[in-house]
Amino acid sequence: MEIADSFIPTAGAVGLLPMVTYFFMVVAMFISLGIFITAITQNRSQPSNLTVHPQQLVPTLLAVVSASTGLVYYLIQLHYHDLLAEFPTVSDATDRQTLIRESYNAIGQYRYVAWFMTAPLLLLLVIAPLRLPWESSKRLLTGLLAAALLMVFTGYIGHQQVSFDNEIQPGPKLGWGSISLVCYGYISITLYRRWKASGQAQGHFRTMALLFVGSWGIYLLGYGLTVLPIDFNWLHITYTITDVTSQIGIGLISYVTWSDSKSMTLAK
């Protein structure tokens, strides 16, 4: 089976610039979806405020995160279904592993589209319980969001370091991955410092920060393992479980803190 016949192509076949162009086209689709969700879920009884605290936007942020992830997984399972349909025609175990590896490079691109949207939004949810004043936290939030976007985008560029026949090129891939790792380190250190600065009293913040840092540690570990001759189905399973676990965990804690905050406001 030719991968391009059933899946979106990779940079090995069409070049890096066309794939970056496609990446931002799909991201634009998700941004439009996010704006639509925000518009229909925004509480119209509240005055418009561009500096509204992330804690007040928890339901909207959760809606955008879940919608983006759900749509991406719909696309992923469609392509993986094509892979499964091809399996009965491939009897050799080595050829099957080659098919899985080559299809992973194509299918896995969609994960980066979702992460490009969800990583910064989840960071906003992680920071929200600290209830930092907007004026004093602009630099912190800007740095975290920029690092999250760069972490995902450099990972996507590294994911595209494949040859024409979709074989991974270890050197270039690990090179781009090192940039992503630096961004991950910056995010981890920044969250740790905020936890220390809060006097270790923000239990919800600490738990969500650990979920975020832990999930991205798994993603980056899986990224590095792709240069080894492993069964990439394990990566699909691990990434899927991690996505669900981290988003449900952060989402539930965010919703609890938002509900508590709303109840306290109404009580006053």
pLDDT in tens, 170-222: 999 999 999 999 999 999 999 999 888 876 557 788 899 999 999 999 999 99
Residue 168 has pLDDT above 80, yes or no: yes
Render pLDDT for 2-56 as a digit per residue (tens, 0 to 9).
444 556 778 888 889 988 998 898 889 888 888 888 777 765 444 444 455 556 6
What is the rounded distance in angstroms from the CA atom of residue 258 to the CA atom of residue 176? 37
Please give the residue range of the domain that contains residue 109.
Answer: 14-267
DSSP 3-state of 264: helix
In 45-101, DSSP assigns E strands to none
Residue bearing tokens 């998700």: 30
Domain assignment of residue 5, yes or no: no
Q: What is the DSSP letter of 163?
A: -
Instruction: Indicate the pLDDT class of residue 227, thresholds 50, 70 and 90.
Output: very high
Look at 7 and 250; give whichever has higher pLDDT.
250
- Of 25, 51, 57, 54, the closest CA to residue 38 belongs to 57
Domain membership of residue 7 (yes or no) is: no
The amino acid sitting at 160 is Q
Residues 6+ apart with CB under 8 A from 185: none
Is position 253 within any domain?
yes
Total of domains in the chain? 1
Q: Which residue has the tokens 């080894």?
A: 228
Average pLDDT across the chain, whole number: 84
Residue 1 lies in a domain: no
Q: What count of other Cβ atoms lies within 10 Å of the Cβ of residue 211?
A: 20
Is residue 153 in a domain? yes
Please tell me the distance from the alpha carbon of residue 227 to that of residue 101, in angstroms, as a whole number: 10
Nearest-5° Cα angle at 130, 125 to 133: 105
In a domain, 243, yes or no: yes
What CATH number is given to the structural domain containing 215? Answer: 1.20.1070.10
